[in-house]
Structure 1
C-alpha cells in the first residue's frame, strides 16, 4: 500500500497491480481505470473530469509540499512546539505561523489555537466527510477560506470567519467526523476572538492603504496614530494577548520612529525644535499631506498625548511649512512667467542685479494665509467629499493650497519618501 501513487490513493479504490499494469476504481463514478506501471496519466486524465474533487487533491498536494519547506526555519521561530504535536495539520499551521511572524510577534499561548484554525480550514477544503457535515450544519454556501502566506490579512479574514461560526456546532462537527485534534477549547476560542479585536484596525488600514486611485501618503500619520491609540486602549482590557500588544507597539514605534519624533512623542525628543529628521518616515511631507487631506485637517491631533500648548505649537509650525511651500511654488511659477519678459529686456541692462528676482508679494502671502485659515475652518465644520474631488472642486477657492496639494498628494507612501520625490496628480 505504501507504493500506491498519491493521485490513486486520493481518488481511487480497489487498487491492483500486476506485472507491467495497475488498475483502480474511481471513488466517484466507479469506472475502472488501467495504466502502465510507473505512470498515472490515465488516472489523472479521468480524475480531472471530477473538477471539484481534483481541485481538492491539488490543494492537498500543495499543503504536503509546503510541509517540507523551511521546516528548520520554522523550528527556529517556534522551538518549543513539537513537529508531531499537530502532525495532521502542520503544513497549514506552518503557513499561518510564518505569515504572522513576518509582521507580528505571536504569543506562545495562542499558537495551538492558530494551528487548530488552520486545521479546520484544511478540512473544509480536503475532507469530503467534513465538508458534507459542515454544509449540513452551516449551509451549502458557507466555507472557510485558505490563507495566503504572503498576505497576513488573509489569515486574519480566515480566523474572523471561523469565530463567526457557532462554537458548539463546530465542536460537534469535529467530533462527528472524528477530528478531535481540531476542537477548540473555550480558552482558545476566546484567544482568537481577542486577536481579531486587536487586529481589526490593522486589517482596515491594510485594505485602505492598498488603494490605487486615492492618495495614500495622507493616510500615514492618521493611521499610525490611530493604531497606536487602539493598542494603548486595548492593553488595559486584554486577558490573553498582552505580550502581542506590547510587541506591536514596539514594532510601530521603531518602524515609524520619524513620525513619533516629529510629533514629540518620543522620550529622546520631548521638545519640538523642527519638523523633519533622518529616521524612517521622518520627512515632514507625511504631516503636511495629512493636513492637506480634507478628510483629516488637524483632526488627527486628537490622538496626540500632548498638552494643548504643545499641540498649538505643532499646529503653528505645520501651518508655517505649508505657507512656505505655497510661497515657493508661487515663486517658481512667477519665475517661469517672467522668462519671456526677461528675454525681451535690452542687452544694455546691468547684470550686477540680474539675480534679484521678483518674489511673492506680501499681499499674496496674506492671501495664502487667509486661504489656509478658511480651508481649515471648512474641513472642521462638515464632512467633506473625498480628497481628490474636494481639491478639484475647490481649486479656484483655495488656489495657492491647491498647488501644494497637487505636489504633496502625488507622492507614494513609503519609508524613503522625501520632498525630492514630489510629483503631480492628474486632475482627471
Structure 2
C-alpha cells in the first residue's frame, strides 16, 4: 500500500520569515500553527550540538555552547521564555568536547544525558544541573530510565571490543552500582538496552546472547538462536529482540530469556523502529525501511504496508520525530517539512530559509515540534514552534 497523499494533496508554503504566527489548513485537515520564538541566540552562541528534548509541558531543552565556548542548556517554554542552565561540575576535557547524547527523561521529571565518554549530567525538575564523572570509564552508551528517577547505562574502560565492560545503575543522587559483564568472544559494548519497568535492564551481551541485570546486582545471560539486539519490553513482560539482517525476525523472549516465538519482519532490512507514542515503548507499528520509506508492521499478522514519504527525487535527511497530533514529522532533501499521520498519509509544507541557511528539527512531543534555522556560521538564526490547531482556532493572528 503506497500513500499518494503527498502527490495528490494540496501543498502550502509556510514562510518562516513572518513576524506573526500563521495558522494554515490543507484540504486533508492539516492544521498547523508556526510561531517564531526569539531569544535563543542570547544563550546559544552556536547551534545546539547533539540531541535536544521536549518536556511533558512541551518546553525545549537544547544543549549548546555560549559565547565563552562553555556547554550550557537552553530551556525554552511554550510562551517563549528562554532560560540558561549552567552545567556545573564538568571537567576541563568535558567542557571542551562535550556533545549531548541520549537525552532521557527520568520517572521523577529529571533529564539525564551524557557525552559518550563517562560524563553524565542530570537536570532536576527544579532545573538544577549536576554532572557525575564515572571513574575509569572511556565510553558510555544506552541510557534508559529506571525507577525513582534512576538511570541505567552501559560503560567500558576502553574503546576496544575486548575492553572490560559493565552495566551501571545511577540513583537520582548519583549513587553508582556497576555490574561487570563478560567480554566473550566477539563481544561488543551493548549499544541497546531495553527497560523492564525500572526493575532491570536487558542488553546484547556478545554475539547471540541476551543479558539481564537487576538493581540488586543479579546478572543472568541466555543464548538466542539468532544474533540481534533487544528493542522493547512489551506490556506482558516479554522482550522484543530484533535479529540482524538479512532475513530479519522479531524474537519474543520470556522473562527468563527463553525464546517464546518468532515473527518474520520483512525480506529486507528494517533499520530501526520509530519514536514512541505517548506513554508507550518503541512503536513497531511504524519503522524505517529506506531513505524515503516508512513501513507499517503488524507483528501479529506478519503483514507489511509501505509508505513513500518523499517527493520524486528526494530523500529524508532528518530522523522522524513523534510530534503534534501524534504524527511523525521529518524533513526531506528538497526542503519540505513532512507530517505523516498514523494512516500513512503524508502532508508537505515547503520551508523557506534565508539564502545559505538550513533548518534543523530539534525535538518534538505530542504538543509541539521545535525547528531551528541555522546560518552559514552554525549560529542559531530563528527558532520556530510548530503546533496543530483545532478548526475553531484556525485563523491568522
Range class of TM-score, shorter chain: under 0.3
Q: Which has the larger radius of gyration?
A: 1
**Structure with higher helix content:** 1
**Structure with higher strand content:** 2
